[in-house]
Amino acid sequence: MAVWHDLSLAGCGRCLSDLVWFFGSAIVALMLSLIAFLMELLSAGRSILLQIRDNRPPKAGR
C-alpha cells in the first residue's frame, strides 16, 4: 500500500520557500544571461558596422 502523505507538501513551509528561492533565482539568472547576450550582440553589430565603414574605398573627388 502506497503512503501518499509523504509526497505531499502539507506542513512543509520551508520546502516551498526553498523551491520559490531556487526557481526564482534560476529565472533571475536566465534574465541576466539574456541581457548579457543582447549586450554582446550589440557590441558585435557595432564592430561589424565600424569595419564596413573603415573598409569602404574613398570616394572620387576627395
pLDDT digits (tens, 9 = 90+) for 24-52: 999 999 999 999 999 999 999 999 999 99
Burial class (CB in 10 A: 0-12, 13-18, 19+), 50: exposed
Q: 6 in a domain, yes or no? A: no
In one-letter notation, the amino acid at residue 61 is: G
Cβ contact 15:9 at 8 Å:
yes
* pLDDT computed for residue 61 by the predictor: 65
pLDDT band at 57; cut points 50, 70, 90 = confident
Residue 59: phi, psi to the nearest 5? -75, 145
**pTM for this entry:** 0.63
Domains: count for the chain: 1
Q: 22 in a domain, yes or no? A: yes
Q: 9 in a domain, yes or no? A: no
Write out the residue range of the structural domain in which residue 23 sits: 15-54
Q: 30 in a domain, yes or no? A: yes
Q: Which three cell numbers stand for residue 28?
A: 533571475
